[in-house]
Amino acid sequence: MSVPEALGFHPNYTAWLKSLEGYEEQIASFSFFPARTKGEKVEYEGKFKPLLDHFKITPYKHQAEALMLTEAGQHVVVATPTASGKSLTYQIPTLHALDHDKTALYLFPTKALAHDQLDKLKGLAKSQGLDELISTYDGDTPTTERSRLREQARCLLTNPDMLHYGILPYHDKWAGFLSRLEYLVIDEMHAYRGVMGTHVANILRRLLRLAWHYGAKPQIIAASATIANPSEHAFNLTGLETVAVTEDAGPRAARELVFWQPPLVSEKGEGRRRSANTEAAWLAGHFVKAGLKSIFFCNSRKSAELLKRYSMNYLENDQEKYLQTYRAGYTSEDRRIIETGFKQGDITVLTATSALELGVDIGGVDAVVLVGYPGSMTSLWQRAGRAGRSGSRALTLLIAADDPLDEYYLNHPDLITESKVEKAVADAFNTEIHPLHVACAAAEKPIPESEGYVAKWLEPDPNSKLVKRNSKWFYLGKYPHKQVNVRGTGGKRIVLKDGFGKTVGISDFETALRELHSGAVYLSQGDTFLVAKLDLEAGVATLLPHIEDYYTQTRSMTDIEVIDTEFQLYGVNIGRVRVSTEYTSFVKKRYFRETILDERLLDLPQVAYTTQAMWFDVSEVKFSIPPQDLPSAMHALEHTLIGLLPAFVLCERADVGGVSYPIYPANGQPLIFIYDGYPGGVGYSRAGTTVFLDWLSAAYELLKDCPCKSGCPRCILSPKCGNGNQYLDKHAAKTLAYELLSYLKQVYGKARALN
């Protein structure tokens, strides 16, 4: 398979990278995945065959399997890699349904993705004369168009927000559409996890109960990136048994996977390395000069913007036009201009966020660079799949950042090349979110207890408008939907305003306490502000321009009270806890040098909520650590475990929190708690319990292999530590992890081998 012309005479990407001026042996390891040039096509003889013949399509084996399952009336989820042709498995059945006077509803996580898929579906439907029956229905749909679409459209592409706020509350107006609903298509199903997954699970179940009410029996056709539990996740979202198709039989490009380790910047044994952003900027400059079509994926909007700015230092003025940023927050018009420019070659390098991880069409890509591990194996392979032109090999390059996950995978690249992926987690019966949706469902249509929609633990609140009478749930009010924030946990919102009263953003309540207290330095859209005042009663934070050379970090104290223990596994307890956090002070730190300039006390309300947690007792091994070092050992091990949880559960580091108690007040034992950072919990800590032995083994290996002397961001330092990463002992944590693993291996007879 050929290499892109941009590589010149070099036989592969690895050789070309080593030839770059300024290369300092950054390639830590690399792997090669051979091409599959043809794929496995099969003859399909079912009811969709006339449509396939019309488009002159012979499906690949996995596409045919999905179509046959759909034809047999099964609910289906296709969980295969990027660019494997998943969309065909729902486009063809949709066209068949439209031709038989049925309807279809498509759910996408973003408006941009819905509009992108609209063009493709209408392109197919045009030859059938069905394109006018297909439309998007979202917040951008003009009010004057909405009534027409309710009456005339037969295929609507929408998102969870519009489904919740604009369709389900007015289902009587949608009776004609819902009564003929043949297919419910859930695209990018893996994106619906955690809090968002909890909301979407409730919204989908509300939609299904209304469709059933109007006499329809819609089938589910879902598409997902490769995850470990596609059938289980589809069931958690919909409550319906779903068959998974996971074997990709399509063609794929040859791929080089390169692990890039930034060079050391200190010779004193501290292990400090050049930043991932600096390395990415240097590479982006070379990619632009070579004309290599590439995407540099960053893990935040700010990083994507900064990377573009840094990369300009390596380019001449006439080369800067070939570099652009793509992220959420841009207008749809701006995004379309960038997409078109990249397709046509006017732009060759994009610095992007996860906004490009989903299936927006931007044409062919030669290389994908990941600026830091993206947080999950699912995201890594989803982003990697963006590269690979027909007939040309692709490059995926991972630049290791200062993070436990990056360091862990840098030392264990086989865990990535083996393509093991995580489980997606979504809990439809979250104790905080589910009752909000029960109120919405009851307002839409009273809920008989026998229906099974309502969690068995839910009891009527005498102060709520949600009531239970004669084994039925009713809502005695109007439009409870406005009380639900589909992309969050609800609660009070804080509006950010500049000195002229202009709104510059919105924050949730706890984030405001942590980042928008009076005196805080706050970053927004690349600009730096000083918070002049936080008025919690009015719900307003007032921001002023900030030009001084420091930033701020809050200090906090968190306490945990165990409410009940549900079960124990591998010596780990799972149950419900009450988490109470108080932000006690903030420090001013000099940029880059991290020097603390000042610390000031805060007087803010306590944040408390009930959530899910796991906790374990280290009493059996505590004597392996000097008593004076045990608190620092437990604290450091807690940090390392939290940093590595996304290697095993599809979540982000910020989704969980932790507290370690050398002496837990309730029982006097040394306990480490790791809890879901959302009211009610979403299942992250529970999922972590099932893989605890491997998780703990990974923590030990990271502590053992990290080259730093006394701790660094790659092993024990946490960006969200409430006491500013004080009282941490890396070596004592390593000993504690080793002894605990040895003990658990002896007791439970199962643990990964220790080196």
| Residue 595 is assigned to a structural domain of this protein | no
CA distance 27 to 260: 5
Does one domain contain both 28 and 93? no
62/166 same-domain check: yes
**Residue 491 reports pLDDT greater than 70:** no
pLDDT above 60 for 110:
yes
| Listed ranges 353-362, 377-386, 553-562, 649-658; the one with the highest mean pLDDT | 553-562
Considering the domain architecture, whether residues 229 and 287 belong to the same structural domain is answered as: no
Mean pLDDT of 94-102: 96
If 0-12 CB within 10 Å is exposed, 13-18 middle and 19+ buried, where does residue 331 land? Answer: exposed
Domain end, chosen from 457, 483, 509, is at 483
pLDDT digits (tens, 9 = 90+) for 278-323: 999 999 999 999 999 999 999 877 788 788 888 988 988 888 888 9
148 in helix, strand or coil? Answer: helix
Are residues 82 and 158 located together in one domain of the fold?
yes
The answer to whether residues 58 and 176 belong to one domain is: yes
CATH number at residue 23: 3.40.50.300
Q: Are residues 688 and 565 in the same domain?
A: yes
Q: Which residue has the tokens 């600096």?
A: 278
Check: CB of residue 748 under 8 Å from CB of residue 571.
yes
Please report, for residues 490, 526, 675, the alpha-carbon distance to residue 654 in angstroms, rounded to integers and kept in the order given: 18, 22, 11
Per-residue pLDDT, averaged over 669-678, amounts to: 94
Alpha helices in 81-162 (DSSP H): 88-99, 111-126, 143-152, 160-162
Domain annotation covers residue 18: yes
Helical segments of 373-497, H only: 377-384, 404-411, 414-417, 434-444
Instruction: Give the lowest-confidence range in 102-111, 662-671, 701-710, 741-750.
Output: 741-750
| Listed residues 204, 228, 245: the one ending a domain | 245
pLDDT band at 24 (very low <50, low <70, confident <90, very high): very high
Taking 80 as the threshold, does the pLDDT of residue 223 lie above it?
Answer: yes
pLDDT at 751 over 50: no
Determine what percent of the chain is predicted with pLDDT higher than 90.
57
Q: What is the pLDDT of residue 271?
A: 66
What's the confidence (pLDDT) of residue 330?
65
Percent of the chain with pLDDT over 70: 94
In-domain check, residue 422: no
- pLDDT-derived band at 753 (thresholds 50, 70, 90) equals very low
Give the integer Cα–Cα distance in Å for 544 and 521.
10
Distance between terminal CA atoms of the chain? 40
CATH number at residue 656: 3.30.1360
Q: Mean pLDDT in the chain?
A: 89
Higher local confidence (pLDDT), 549 or 57: 57
- Pick from 194, 211, 245: which residue ends a domain? 245
Q: Are residues 241 and 314 in the same domain?
A: no
> Do 200 and 71 belong to one domain?
yes
Q: Whose CA is closest to 237, among 167, 276, 189?
A: 189
Residue 457 lies inside a defined structural domain of this protein: yes
Residue 419 located in a structural domain: no
pLDDT at 631 over 50: yes
Give the integer Cα–Cα distance in Å for 419 and 228. Answer: 10
Pair 76, 131 in one domain: yes
Pairwise CA distance, residues 244 & 232, whole Å: 9
One domain, residues 154 and 296: no
Q: What is the mean pLDDT of residues 535-546?
A: 90
Q: Does a structural domain hold residue 425?
A: no
Q: Is the pLDDT of residue 85 over 60?
A: yes
| Shared domain check, 237 and 154 | yes
β-bridge pairing 550-569 and 596-601: unpaired
**Do residues 702 and 658 share a domain?**
yes
Confidence of residue 752 (pLDDT cuts 50, 70, 90): very low
For 752, the token pair is 């990964």
For residue 260, being part of any structural domain is answered with yes
Q: What is the pLDDT of residues 583-600, one digit of tens each?
A: 999 989 886 566 788 999
Burial class (CB within 10 angstroms; exposed 0-12, middle 13-18, buried 19+) of 272: middle
**Whole-angstrom Cα Rg for the chain:** 27
Phi, psi at 413, each rounded to 5°: -60, -20
Q: How many domains does the chain have?
A: 5
Average pLDDT in the 362-386 region? 87
- Structure pTM? 0.82
- Reported as a single tens digit per residue, the pLDDT across 340-366 is 888 888 999 999 887 775 656 666 789
pLDDT score recorded for residue 698 = 93
* Least reliable range by pLDDT among 423-437, 487-501, 645-659: 487-501
Low-confidence winner among 112-116, 120-124, 165-169, 207-211 (lowest mean pLDDT): 112-116
522 lies in which domain range?
A: 493-548
Residue 589 lies in a domain: no
